[in-house]
Structures are given as C-alpha cells and as structure tokens.
A and B are shown apart, each in its own frame.
Chain A
Amino acid sequence: MNTPNSVASASSPAIPNGSGAAAVLAAGIGSFALAVLAVAGDKSAAIKSSLVFYRPTGPLSGVTTAAILMWLLTWGILEWRWRNRTVAVGRISVVALALLALSLLLTFPPVVDLF
C-alpha cells in the first residue's frame, strides 16, 4: 500500500537540499570562526582583552559568543537564500567538512603554538 510514509522511500527527494546545505555550511563556518577567534585571542593581547565579554569567564566568553552570533547570522542568510533551491551540496559539504577539520586542528594546542 502506498502511504504518505513510503513517499520518502522513493529515489527522488521530496524537499530541495538548499535548507540542509545552508545548515551544514553554517555549522562549518561557525566552528571555523570559533577556532580563528580562539587563536587570535591567544596570540594578541589586544584581541584577547576585547574578547572579555564576561570577566569571570575571560576571553572564552567573547570567543564563543562572537562565533555563535556569526554562525547563526550565516545560517539565517544562507537559509533565506537557499531554502527553496537545489544547490551543489556535494561541494558545499566538502567545504563545510574542511572548515570543521581545520577548526579541530586550530584548537589543538600544539598547532596553536606554531603560530
């Protein structure tokens, strides 16, 4: 019997991939922003002090708050632009995963010490 639930089993997608691609790329960009801000705060005293949004938590408060804002802003813009579109999700995923891998690398202390 062909129920609405079996529609998703068909080989053609029911929903355009734009919304998913927007979420994936935004997550990659947000993660990368966090890593870059963390490195910048570690290497520059001026940036470090400007990232102290909440004194007891120190620069971590600014690094994470700024990165989360960038992530959500990017996500919102991409979602608005791609929501009903079919995009090159393969390439977008590769970029997002590369950004995520770079983020993991940039937060690894021995790598941070190389800069």
Chain B
Amino acid sequence: MEITTRALWTMIHGMGFGALYLLACSGALVELYRFTTSTIPAEPTPGQERFFKVYLAAMVVIAWVAVLMGAYVIYPWYRATPPPGTTDLAMFPQRLLMSSSTTIGWHSFGMEWKEHVAWFAPISITMVAFVFIRYGRDLKNHRQLRAAVLSFAVASFVAAGIAGFFGAMINKYAPVQGGHTIQLSQGEEK
C-alpha cells in the first residue's frame, strides 16, 4: 500500500480539513441556534459558552487552512501546464479533464465554481466567530443580527459543501498525482 506525496497533501486538504470543517459546521449551526434562541428554556452555562467560542475559533483556523492549502499547495499541481508534445496527461489533472468532452465539465463548471465559492466559507465563519465571541449569549437580544449571523453560517456550510463535492469528484476523475511515493505497508504476494 503506497501513496504519493501530492495525493497525501490532497487527502489532508479534502478529507482532513475540508471534511472536518463540514462536520464542525453542522454542529456549529445547531449550537448557534441553541445559544441564540431565547425560546429554549435551559440556559447554557458559561463553560459551555466558552467551549463554543473556542470551537468557532478552531473552525476559523480549519477553514482558512483548508482554502489556503487548496489554493497554494494543491491547485498549482492541478493546473500545471504539460510540456509541448506530452501525450500522457495523468500528471496534469486540469488538462486531462479538458481533453475529453465527457470530463471537461468537471473543470469548466466544477473547478471554476469551486475555486471561488470555497472562499466564502472562511470569510463567513470568521465573521460568525467574531460576532459570537464578542456578543455571546447577548446575541439573543439582537434578533436581526442573530438572523444575519445564522444566514452567513448556513452560507459557509453550503459553500464548503459545494467545494467539497466538486473537489472529491474532480479528484475521482483526474486525481492529483506525483511527488515521492510513500510506502505505507508491504503487501504479501498471493
């Protein structure tokens, strides 16, 4: 069992930070609603509030690491230009997708959307975290502000979901490959 360094970085980006962010987002939406809606009778304790502030701050870090790693580590490998005369495009995912009418949409629609929409996730969640850290449970007394914060949190989740879906599908049809090969385990011959 082996993996290339580029595939490993792609996995850390998508299955690590990306998937972790999506999971964290679903929890954050529930907690945001619980903390900021006055109709729920049980008051969260100061400890729970402190925990949720740290949780949101961690989400901000995860979201920024995911998009920055995607844009500055993975994306250059994805969009690399092959030397003239190259016939095997396996190491050039963008060109590989563009070389067939059955896969070009994964680039022209999927990647074109993903590479921009993904950035709404960290921008939105940074704002959400800032507002919650500043206001805490007082946010329940700012009905309109609370609605805006929840809407941006949902938008962050949707943006990350779109980026995650297309990232996974693009990597399925044209995986990012190359770099050193890391041997994970030695299989026995049958």
Interface residues of A (CB under 8 A from B): 5-6, 8-15, 17, 19-21, 23-24, 26-27, 30-31, 34-35, 38, 54, 56-58, 60-61, 63-64, 67-68, 71, 89-90, 93, 96-97, 100, 103-104, 107-110, 112
Contacts and interface: CB of A to CB of B under 8 A. Distances in A.
Instruction: Classify the secondary structure of A's interface with B.
Output: helix
Contacts, number: 125
Given A8-B141, A90-B144, A27 B116 contact: no
B92 to A, nearest CB: 13
A20 B145 CA distance: 7
Contact of B145 (A6, A21, A35, A110): A21
A21 B142 CA distance: 10
Q: Which of A35, A61, A67, A107 has the most chain B CB within a 10 Å cutoff?
A: A107
B149 A34 contact: no
Interface of B: 38, 43, 45-46, 67, 71-72, 75-76, 79-80, 108-109, 112-113, 115-117, 119-120, 123-124, 126-127, 130-131, 134-142, 144-145, 147-149, 151-152, 155, 158-159
Contact of B119 (A6, A17, A67, A89): A67
Nearest to A19: B134
Contact of B155 (A23, A35, A56, A104): A104
Instruction: Classify the secondary structure of B's interface with A.
Output: helix
Contacts of B76: 56-57
A100 B120 contact: yes
A72 to B, nearest CB: 10
Contact of A24 (B45, B108, B148): B148
Give the top 6 A-B pairs by smallest Cβ distance, nearest first: A56-B76, A93-B148, A8-B137, A27-B127, A13-B141, A107-B116
B111 to A, nearest CB: 9
A23 B130 contact: yes
Q: Which of B113, B119, B141 has the most chain A CB within a 10 Å cutoff?
A: B119
B116 A9 contact: no
A87 B38 CA distance: 22
